[in-house]
Amino acid sequence: MTDDKIAVALRGITKRFPGVIANDSVDLELREGEIHTLLGENGAGKSTLMNVLTGIYRPDAGSISVFGRTVQLKTPKDAIDLGIGMVHQSFKLVPTHTVTENIVLGLGRGFSRVKLDEAQARVATLSKQYGVKVDPNALVWQLSIGEQQRVEILKILFRGAKILLLDEPTAVLTPQESEELFHTLRSMREQGHSIVFISHKLDEVMTISDRITVLRGGKNVGTVLVQDTNPQDLSHLMVGREIKFATFPKKESRGEQVLEVEGVDALNTRGLPALKGVTFSVAAGEILGLAGVAGNGQQELAQVITGLQRPTAGTVRVQGADMRGKRARHFIDAGVSYVPADRHGVATVGDMSLSHNSVLRRYREPKFGKGPLLNFNAAIGYARRLIKEFNISTPGHATPVRSLSGGNLQKVILAREMTTRHHLLVVMSATRGLDVGATEFVRKTLNDHRHQGGSIVLISEDLEELLSLSDRIAVIFHGEIMGIVDAETARIESLGLMMAGQRLSEVA
Amino acid sequence: MEASPLVLVVAVLQAAVRSGTPILFVCIGEIYAERSGVLNVGLEGLMLVGAIAGFSVGYSVGNPVVGVIAAAIAGALFSLIHAYVTITLRADQIVSGLTLTILGTGISGFFGKPMIGQVGPGFDQIAIPGLSSIPILGQVLFRQDAMVYLSYLLVPIAWWVMYKTHLGLAIRSVGENPATADSLGVSVTKVRYGCVLFGGAMAGLGGAYLSLAYTTMWIEQMSGGRGWITLALVIFAAWNPARAMLGAYLFGGADALQLRVQAVGIEIPTYFLMMLPYVLTITILVLASRASMRRRIGAPAALGLPYAREER
């Protein structure tokens, strides 16, 4: 390789955050006109490296050269000027602005007029050139996640970027939307763009990449050509050991219906319909998976079946009892537990100790207090037991939960919520952001719960997780259940089509 | 002597514009600050600083225009405290703003002591040839002083900059999603400083209107809660400079009306009449906050939130 074909060269990039080294002397070479995948587990340092390359973080050591020139990236503007653009995992869009306004933001100075007409025409040309479909006049908050991602891509192309970084772009897409994205990426490669693609999904990495660099624990542990590798080798490099995707045996016999949801409608926080006529049921000893692209009513559904939000129509029955007009506390008393997606904001109180957090669900019980007084010793004893049982690694029961890692925090939440048997567990995005070890632990815990006769509503965007754990899978789209299928016989393609809005009858 | 009803209405409307103008200045400035994500509840203090700075400079130079310029500069400088504390140090915006009000009240009282009882220069009413002879409307809008005309110019300019220019797009984006603006090379810090200082200058102008045009003297705490009312009007205006005009005159109208009713001597206790503008403010807030309204006109999403880039 001669030097002039290298688009970006990173040498010895090191970036420290308080207590962690996110990037440890990382080298990376991006050739012109290639799709280069950055593979690694959560926390391996992929996003940090890309943030260094876009000028958001400043590295503590190392050098960056772009098209053969050594550069200093002090601000995002420097990166943009060099033709580097990034599609972040959480989109950087202003929801209340139009697509075009978002695209031209930051391009003009001061009191000059925004020439929206010209910009719109250029956006239209670009979307045709690269096959990126989006309405330039739409308001961003009205767009689907897939469309918002296209706006991000157009934003970068509009700035004439030659180097595109995409941080886990497929995490929020349906399989079909991912296909469309890959189509766009290939067409960009043909037109000479260099692309860094971040992912931890091995199958799609094998499909789209030219070369693959694996990061582990902040270090580059190898760069390989796609034709010289296979998913097994990659996973080995990524995790540092063989991973076996555990399969979970389903329970043969199911019990009585624990949760029955019938014709439920509900509104979202904007006051718009979020659930429309949702009907399903979960039996004892069953895991019902709920698949769907984020933001299709999962949050509202979880809140309705845990009593945090009242449906505007329909009924929810827990163990046969109509829960109409009941509050979250009644749901708790009826044996409903909730592991929300937002571990810091909803599930725990960050500044409170582990022991206090662990009794949040049960502090009213006589064993934890008398009248208005709490028995802190009982709480501490209880927390110690949970720490042991769930193998939570923490300095002690008095540690504020804010300082726990994601995996340990999730263990605290699970431990608290799984106190009684034969009850209903509502779990949302249970393993998101967890490392492999913690993920395995959580999945095993959920499986055990089923085998002890408990019921679970498992809400997840991870189809593999749903397929391996669930007995049945329901797919939600725009607040409606598109269909419920048996996990044993479900095909990933039909699930994908249902996630994109087709009914079971149409895809079967 | 009984005035004809029409003459009375015209007089009230004319007074409404006069009474609404100081609020209009402050409101436009605060809209810019809040659009950039910085809430400044120190408007009351800023107005007082503007009022005393405008009056004392205008009084000693003998020229109200110089006074107005001084008031704008004083307002901007005083709001620099708020900008530094909330943008650079990322402290709580409410606390900083409250401090500004208390500090402004104290400083203006201190420097205003020798000015009490003095009569300063003021702005004369100028009838605009032609326009002022339009029936009713000409009387109401075009027999006013120079600062009112300045506010007429300011509203469309503020609207145009906000919605039609790159600067406006940058301001609105910084207030909605600073991380996005930052990632596209817009300096969140510069935009916010600029907007807060502009807001301070406008609040200074609003204060100066009170001491150089509405009256021509300095009275302690002469802002009389107008700074607070402006905060409510910003919400009523849905952060839109054009709608601010409507809100300001509505409040001005209530103010003018209560003064007029007092003067006529209708037998309602004066305290109830004096409440009228404030009752109106609360009513507007209640209406503006109704769920159905909120969906349509949201506050800037990052309002009140400090921004730091390298956080994780």
Tell me the ipTM for this assembly.
Answer: 0.83
Q: Which of the residue ranges A27-31, A503-507, B45-49 would you say has the lowest mean pLDDT? A: A503-507
Overall average pLDDT of the B239-244 stretch? 92
Nearest to A112 among B165, B180, B309 (CB): B165
Lookup: tokens for B241: 């400079």
By C-alpha distance, the chain A residue nearest B312 is A17
Tell me which of A244-258, A301-315, A469-483, B68-82 is least confident.
A244-258
Q: Which of A378, A399, A419 is the last residue of a domain?
A: A419
Average pLDDT over residues A467-486: 93
User: Would you call B169 an interface residue with chain A, using a CB distance cutoff of 8 Å?
Assistant: yes
Mean pLDDT value across residues B23-41: 97
The closest alpha carbon to A87, from A8, A177, A150, belongs to A150
Euclidean distance between CA atoms A249 and B112, whole angstroms: 83
Confidence of residue A3 (pLDDT cuts 50, 70, 90): very low
Chain A residues with at least one Cβ partner in B under 8 Å: 17, 54, 56-57, 75-77, 80, 86, 88, 92-97, 101-102, 104-114, 155, 270-271
Q: Does B190 contact chain A (CB < 8 Å)?
A: no
Residues A37, A186: one domain?
yes
Joined tokens for residue A375: 């028995």
Q: Which residue has the higher pLDDT, A71 or A43?
A: A71
pLDDT bin (cut points 50, 70, 90) of residue B199 is: very high
Q: Are residues A15 and A110 in the same domain?
A: yes
Looking at residue A488, its amino acid is E
In terms of domains, do A36 and A117 share one?
yes
Tell me whether residue A342 is in a domain: no
Average pLDDT for B52-68: 96
Percent of chain B with pLDDT over 70: 95
Residue B209: pLDDT over 90: yes
Q: Which helix (H) or strand (E) holds A27?
A: strand A20-31
Instruction: State the angle between helix axes of B146-164 and B166-176 in degrees (0 to 180), rounded to the nearest 10.
Output: 70
Q: What span, in angstroms and rounded, lies between the C-alpha atoms of A478 and A484?
A: 15
Same domain, A285 and A433: yes
Tokens 């309002």 sit on residue: B303
| Choice between B76 and A240, residue whose per-residue pLDDT is larger | B76
A392 has pLDDT over 80: yes
Instruction: Check pLDDT > 80 for residue A107.
Output: yes
Contacts of A107 in chain B (CB under 8 A): 166, 184
- Residue B300 DSSP code: P
**Residues of chain B neighbouring A110 (CB-CB closer than 8 A):** 165-167
Ranges of H-type helices in chain B: 5-35, 43-61, 64-83, 93-112, 137-141, 146-164, 166-176, 178-183, 188-209, 226-236, 241-264, 270-289, 291-296
pLDDT of residue A1: 42
Give the residue-averaged pLDDT of A332-349: 90
Q: Do A226 and A211 form a contact (C-beta atoms < 8 A)?
A: yes
Q: Which residue of B has its CA nearest to A112?
A: B165
Residue A195's pLDDT is: 96
Mean pLDDT, rounded, of chain A? 88
Query: In this structure, are strands A472-477 and A480-486 parallel, antiparallel, or unpaired?
Result: antiparallel
Shortest Cα distance from A360 to chain B (angstroms)? 27
pLDDT digits (tens, 9 = 90+) for A210-240: 999 999 888 999 999 999 998 878 877 887 7
Nearest partner of A63 among A47, A75, A52, A51, judged by Cα: A52
pLDDT of amino acid A254 = 77
Q: Which of A204, A239, A274 is the last residue of a domain?
A: A239
Instruction: With CA atoms as reference, report the closest residue to A460 among A302, A223, A327.
Output: A302
**Residue located via tokens 């700035």:** A159
A282 and A171 in a single domain? The answer is no
Mutate: best of A84, A94, A107, A268, partner B, most B CBs <10 A:
A94
Alpha-carbon distance B56 to nearest alpha carbon in chain A (angstroms): 34
Section B118-136 average pLDDT: 90
Question: Among A42-46, A102-106, B240-244, where is mean pLDDT lowest?
Answer: A42-46
Judged by CB atoms closer than 8 Å, whether chains meet at A101 and B309 is answered as no
> Who among B179, B185, B298 is closest to A106 (CB)?
B185
Residue A454 maps to a domain: yes
Domain B5-296 has CATH 1.10.3470: yes
At residue A244, the pLDDT reads 54
Per-residue pLDDT tens digits for A154-207: 999 998 899 999 988 887 788 888 899 999 999 999 999 999 999 877 888 899
Give the SS3 label for residue A313. strand
pLDDT for A38: 93
Most confident listed range (A68-72, A81-85, A278-282, A420-424)? A278-282
CB A255 within 8 A of CB A301: no
Q: How many residues does chain A have?
A: 508
A53 is written with which tokens?
Answer: 């390359």
Which is nearest to B29 in space by CA: B39, B18, B17? B39
* Helices (H), ranges, A305-405: 328-333, 354-358, 376-389
Specify the number of domains making up chain A: 3
CATH number at residue A208: 3.40.50.300
Q: How far is A472 from chain B (nearest CA, A)?
A: 37
Q: Cβ contacts (< 8 Å) between A114 and chain B: which residues?
A: 164-166, 168-169
Comparing alpha-carbon positions, the chain B residue that sits nearest to A87 is: B183
| pLDDT(A314) > 50 | yes
pLDDT at A498 over 80: yes
Task: Please tell me which residue of chain A has the smallest CA distance to B158.
Answer: A111
Least CB–CB distance from A111: residue in B167, B182, B183: B167
Determine the structural domain holding residue A388 and report its residue range.
348-419
Burial category of A331 from C-beta neighbours within 10 Å (exposed 0-12, middle 13-18, buried 19 and up): buried
Question: What integer pLDDT is reported at residue B295 of this predicted model?
Answer: 53
Residue A422's pLDDT band (boundaries 50, 70, 90)? low
Cα A113 from Cα B161, distance rounded (Å): 8
Q: Under a CB-based contact definition with an 8 Å cutoff, are residues A451 and A252 in contact? A: no
Categorize the per-residue pLDDT at A74 as very low, low, confident or very high, splitting at 50, 70 and 90: confident
Distances in Å between the alpha carbon of B34 and those of A106, A127, A256, B173, B239?
19, 35, 56, 12, 8
Least CB-CB distance to A114: which of B164, B295, B301? B164
Count of A–B CB contacts within 8 Å?
87
Domain ranges of chain B: 5-296
Query: Which positions in chain B touch A54 (Cβ < 8 Å)?
Result: 183
Identify whether A246 is part of a domain: no
Beta bridge partners of A322: A317
Those residues whose C-beta lies under 8 Å from the C-beta of residue B116, and which sit 6 or more positions away, are B218, B219, B220
Q: For chain A, what is the radius of gyration of the CA atoms?
A: 25
Same domain, yes or no, for A201 and A282?
A: no
A139 and A228 belong to one structural domain: yes
Residue-level pLDDT at A420 = 64
What CA–CA distance (Å, rounded) separates A243 from A443? 14
Q: Are residues A295 and A409 in the same domain?
A: no
Asked if the C-beta of B311 comes within 8 angstroms of chain A's C-beta atoms, the answer is no
Which residue would you say has higher pLDDT here, A464 or A136? A136
Interchain proximity B184–A111, CB inside 8 Å: no
What proportion of chain A, given as a percentage, has pLDDT over 90? Answer: 48
**What's the mean per-residue pLDDT of chain B?**
90
- Per-residue pLDDT, averaged over B150-174, amounts to 95
**Same domain for A23 and A169:** yes
Q: Is residue A264, in this structure, part of any structural domain at all?
A: yes
Assigned domain for A445 exists: yes
Q: Is B264 on the interface with A (CB under 8 A)?
A: no
Residue B263, Cβ neighbours under 10 Å: how many?
Answer: 8
Ranking A155-159, B111-115, B257-261 by mean pLDDT, the lowest is B257-261
How far A336 CA sits from the closest chain B CA (Å)?
Answer: 31
Domain boundary among A387, A403, A419: A419
Please state, in angstroms and rounded to a whole number, the distance separating the CA atoms of residues B40 and B228: 10
Phi, psi of B269 (to 5 degrees): -55, 135
Q: Does residue A498 sit in the same domain as residue A438?
A: yes
Helix, strand and coil content of chain A, in percent to the nearest 5, comes to 35, 25, 35
Chain A contacts of B312, Cβ < 8 Å?
Answer: 17
Decide if B301 and A17 are in contact by the 8 Å CB cutoff: no
- Same structural domain for residues A407 and A446? no
With CB atoms and an 8 Å threshold, state whether A101 touches B169: yes
Whether residue B180 and residue A93 make contact (CB cut-off 8 A), yes or no, is yes
| B188 in contact with A, Cβ within 8 Å | no
Residue A292 Ramachandran class (φ > 0 left, ψ -120 to 50 alpha, else beta): left
Contact A94 B298 (CB under 8 A): no
